[in-house]
Structure 1
Amino acid sequence: MRYIVIGAGAVGGTIGARLHQGGHEVLLVARGAHYEALKRDGLRLITPESDEKLPIPVADGPVPTRDDDVLIVATKSQDTIAALDPWPSGLPVVCAQNGVDNERMALRRFARVYGMCVWLPAQHLEPGIVVAPCHPYSGILHVGRYPQGVDDLTRQIVADLGKRGFEAHAQPDVMRWKYGKLLGNLANAVDALVGGGVPGAAQLIDRTRAEAREVLDKAGIAYTTTEEEAEIRGHKMDTRAIEGVERGGGSSWQSLAKGSGSIEADYLNGEIVLLGREHGVRTPVNEVLRREANRFAREKLPPRSMPLETLLALVDQA
């Protein structure tokens, strides 16, 4: 079986690297300077234990496929449709992404779709380099068939992921885990705009998640609890400082730091806004975060450059 990782950034690069280290055939798909660096030097994976250059094959677009290929899409949600469009619809697709809409988007074209709830803090700011700072595992990954269930391919993917650097679980209710992860990711916009560690930011994040839980409960959507997640996570993913590596922020912070021009807020805070509109629940906090994160990305403003007082005033006005 060959794993084709579409979007070899922080998450995709780490998954591809760990599968490669576990002895599996991997092809990374990347673009621009990142592709050129991977093609020239291989993928440099930096972890608390090692700093390795891995000679993983790379492409900058679709390649001839085989019957045993598995697509792992790890792009941002706003890029999912374009990323999957060139690939044959007969292949299985694993959505290793934040948000809960990617699987549904993929299912329009692909008959076999799998969700992956990704607990994997990682950083990709320089071409060819991915940093995975957690120990003893780089991450914990939950995999299941979409919309629900576990099959033989699920079990094979979980076994392969668990060979090196990850703890992996087969979850028949994988979307419940992804909705739980969505609640956590609602803080991404706060971190990107003002910084999650700024005094007062934690209270805003609490408001954001309380608003979201009200929406999910009204919609009848199940989600994992923080207690349930903590029981599995334990101390299996403790973040460690790595000499010479400056720790940045999460995925939304990285989008702003790289000046990519887009951000996934429409599929994080925006998912709560959408559900709120569908079920008659007001979501002013998440709407402001969605709108302002998109504005920052569009105008290429630097991350964490909005004063918290400004953001709170916008929320209060809403």
Structure 2
Amino acid sequence: MKVAVMGAGAVGCYYGGMLARAGHEVVLIARQQHVEAIERDGLRLDTQHFDERVRVAASTDAIAVKGAQLVLFCVKSTDTDSAAKALAPYLEQDALLMSLQNGVENAERLRGLLPQEAAAAVVYVATGMAGPGHVKHNGRGELVIEPSTKSEEVARAFVEAGVPTEISNNVRGALWAKLVLNCAYNALSAITQLPYGKLVQGEGVTRSMRDVVDECLAVAKADNVTLPGDVDAAVRGIAETMQNQYSSTAQDLARGKRSEIDHLNGLIVRRGEALGIATPANRLLHALVKAIESKAS
């Protein structure tokens, strides 16, 4: 299968690298510094189970998506519209775009922007870019994907590449369940610049997280979302399975970049307002992260 990864940062490099390692033809569309390193030395996949350099194509240009049957769409939620516009002239008619993004609205946005089929995926992985062309895997890695015309083929490819993958009819619920986890951890990790394991040891942190989660669950219920599994156990488990992981929001703020907070706690605030649900804990976290962003800019 020919695969293109649009927005090959930590998440895109990990999943694209795993597919390339398994023998698929993969091109990573990434920033210049990563492309130069990957072309020179290969992609360094530094995982919990192996540390290898994988030979994979890389480009800074959206034209590299030509011919791809599967496009892993991994840009920040803030860049969904502009990235879709950049890809539009080069996408194959029968290409499947799979959104491996934070937030709950991206696949739907893609369907409104492009004629190609778009499907949502829920990503559970702790990764970061340790340097140009060097992705560091800190834990987990499974995917939950939405049914599509290629879902069976895609799931099989990922499983054979060592990525646990499940096809689910309730991806909306799974996306919301992940949104709850992100709302609980991302902003607090960003504000404190602490990894999850140390974050939860702080005085009053777990009680504050409880307030955030309760608001998220109230909004989800009012929005008729069915969340799978035990959300409370999942929230607790993040700090145990990803102790050394900093949130993507923390990584963005540390680099002086705009974060996805509008699509995380900010979404809960907006949906809460629309549904008549008070969300003061999420509103405060959203406001604090936005203030830090403004200070950096």
Normalising by the smaller structure, the TM-score range is 0.7 to 0.9
Shift in Å, 1:26: 0.6
Aligned residue for 1:57?
Answer: 57
Q: Deviations over 1:287-310 (max 9, x none)?
A: 121121122233239xxxxxxxxx
Matches of 1:229 and 1:208 in 2, distance apart? 15
Aligned residue for 2:223?
Answer: 219
Matches of 1:212 and 1:248 in 2, distance apart? 22
Shift in Å, 1:27: 0.6
Aligned residue for 2:137?
Answer: 132
Out of 166, 186, 189, the residue aligned to residue 187 of structure 2 is 189
Out of 152, 168, 178, the residue aligned to residue 171 of structure 1 is 168
Matches of 1:248 and 1:127 in 2, distance apart? 19
- What SS does the aligned partner of 2:87 have? coil
| 8 Å CA contact 1:125, 1:254 repeated in 2 | no
Matches of 2:51 and 2:67 in 1, distance apart? 34
Unaligned runs of at least 5 residues, structure 2? none
Shift in Å, 1:126: 1.9
Q: 1:265 to 1:214 in 2, by over 3 A?
A: same
Matches of 1:192 and 1:287 in 2, distance apart? 15
Matches of 1:47 and 1:114 in 2, distance apart? 27
Aligned residue for 1:305?
Answer: none
What's the RMSD between the two structures over aligned residues? 2.3
- What SS does the aligned partner of 2:44 have? strand
Out of 140, 143, 153, the residue aligned to residue 141 of structure 1 is 143
| 8 Å CA contact 1:6, 1:30 repeated in 2 | yes
Matches of 2:79 and 2:241 in 1, distance apart? 30
Q: 1:6 to 1:193 in 2, by over 3 A?
A: same
| 8 Å CA contact 1:248, 1:254 repeated in 2 | no
| 8 Å CA contact 2:14, 2:45 repeated in 1 | yes
- What SS does the aligned partner of 2:160 have? coil
Matches of 2:46 and 2:10 in 1, distance apart? 11
Shift in Å, 1:32: 3.0
Out of 266, 277, 284, the residue aligned to residue 281 of structure 1 is 277
1:115 aligns to 2:120 (yes or no): yes
Aligned residue for 2:296?
Answer: 300
Q: Deviations over 1:115-148 (max 9, x none)?
A: 00001111114221111122xxx4110001xxxx
Q: Deviations over 1:210-230 (max 9, x none)?
A: 011111112222222326986
Out of 240, 261, 265, the residue aligned to residue 265 of structure 1 is 261
1:104 aligns to 2:104 (yes or no): no
Matched length: 282
Matches of 1:73 and 1:265 in 2, distance apart? 19
| 8 Å CA contact 2:20, 2:26 repeated in 1 | yes
Q: Which moved more, 1:63-72 or 1:94-103?
A: 63-72
Aligned residue for 1:205?
Answer: 209
Matches of 2:292 and 2:39 in 1, distance apart? 32
Out of 144, 158, 161, the residue aligned to residue 161 of structure 1 is 158
Matches of 2:40 and 2:294 in 1, distance apart? 31
Q: Which has the higher helix share?
A: 2
Aligned residue for 1:311?
Answer: none
Aligned residue for 1:244?
Answer: none
| 8 Å CA contact 1:94, 1:115 repeated in 2 | yes
Matches of 1:64 and 1:40 in 2, distance apart? 18
Q: Deviations over 1:84-122 (max 9, x none)?
A: 212136332100011101112101123411100001111
1:14 aligns to 2:14 (yes or no): yes
Q: Deviations over 1:22-47 (max 9, x none)?
A: 11111101013222222222211101
Q: 1:127 to 1:203 in 2, by over 3 A?
A: same
% identical equivalent positions: 27
Q: What TM-score comes out, normalization by structure 1 length? A: 0.82
| 8 Å CA contact 1:219, 1:279 repeated in 2 | yes
Q: Which moved more, 1:286-295 or 1:94-103?
A: 286-295
